[in-house]
């Protein structure tokens, strides 16, 4: 399957929102209270918020398209770093979502490649991320790519604490944690 990964534009927001809400709800829907899920989706996948982030360059969004439309996206932004990375010039990969029916087609790897190129061009020395500890497929993808585990912390969706694995990957030769 042919696909293209590119920077998202404001006109891509509806597709990003739909994909983000769908994949997030699939991942966490069985373990989170429905009211908490509804609140989370409304807050973090608000079309106006995403559009404003894209326009203001407060976050960098990438999308992957096929003839089927948008099949994956990633979000990269500067955020508060975990203690283990407090003194590092790193940026967070906040989201990397692929439609489940498109798993195993290289879309996640293509998004990671685009994210890394962007981070390096902006002068960052590494990427960090959080991934739900039960998302074994995503953890394998990141570990194959070179990410290392830093630890586990709770991630709250409403009142539900979900353990997430903190991961880091250096982007330049010799960029190590310790």
CATH number of the domain that 147 lies in? 3.40.630.30
The verdict on residue 176 lying in a domain is: no
Domain count, the chain: 1
Mean per-residue pLDDT, 38-54: 96
| Residue 35 backbone dihedrals phi, psi, to 5 degrees | -65, -35
The verdict on residue 72 lying in a domain is: yes
Its domain, for residue 45, covers 4-170
The verdict on residue 136 lying in a domain is: yes
The verdict on residue 177 lying in a domain is: no
Q: For position 29, what pLDDT does the model report?
A: 84
What order do you get walking across the sheet with 126-132 strand by strand? Answer: 4-7, 60-66, 69-77, 90-98, 126-132, 160-170, 148-157
Give the per-residue SS3 of the chain: CCCEEEECCHHHHHHHHHHHHHHHHHHHCCCCCHHHHHHHHHHHCCHHHHHHHHHHCCCEEEEEEECCEEEEEEEEECCCCCHHHCCCCEEEEEEEEECHHHCCCCHHHHHHHHHHHHHHHCCCCEEEEEEECCCHHHHHHHHHHCCEEEEEEEEEECCEEEEEEEEEEECCCCCCCC
pTM: 0.91
Asked whether the predicted pLDDT for residue 178 surpasses 50, the reply is no
The verdict on residue 178 lying in a domain is: no
Confidence of residue 177 (pLDDT cuts 50, 70, 90): very low
Read off the pLDDT of residues 84-124 as tens digits, 9 standing for 90 and up.
Answer: 898 899 999 999 999 999 999 999 999 999 999 999 999 99
Mean per-residue pLDDT, 121-147: 94
The verdict on residue 127 lying in a domain is: yes
More confident of the two residues 174 and 85: 85
């Amino acid at each position: 399957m042919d696909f293209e990964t590119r920077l998202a534009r404001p006109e891509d927001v509806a597709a990003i929102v739909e994909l983000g809400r769908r994949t997030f709800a699939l991942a966490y829907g069985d373990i989170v209270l429905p009211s908490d899920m509804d609140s989370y989706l409304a807050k973090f996948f608000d079309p106006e918020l995403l559009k404003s982030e894209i326009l203001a360059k407060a976050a960098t969004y990438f999308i992957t398209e096929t003839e089927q439309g948008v099949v994956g996206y990633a979000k990269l932004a500067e955020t508060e770093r975990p203690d283990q990375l407090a003194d590092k010039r790193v940026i967070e990969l906040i989201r990397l979502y692929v439609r489940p029916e498109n798993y195993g087609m290289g879309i996640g790897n293509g998004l990671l490649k685009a994210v890394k190129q962007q981070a390096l061009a902006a002068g960052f020395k590494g990427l960090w991320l959080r991934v739900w500890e039960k998302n074994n497929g995503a953890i394998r993808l990141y570990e194959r790519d070179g990410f290392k585990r830093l630890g586990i912390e709770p991630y709250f969706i409403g009142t539900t604490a979900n353990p997430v694995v903190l991961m880091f990957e250096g982007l330049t030769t010799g960029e190590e944690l310790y």
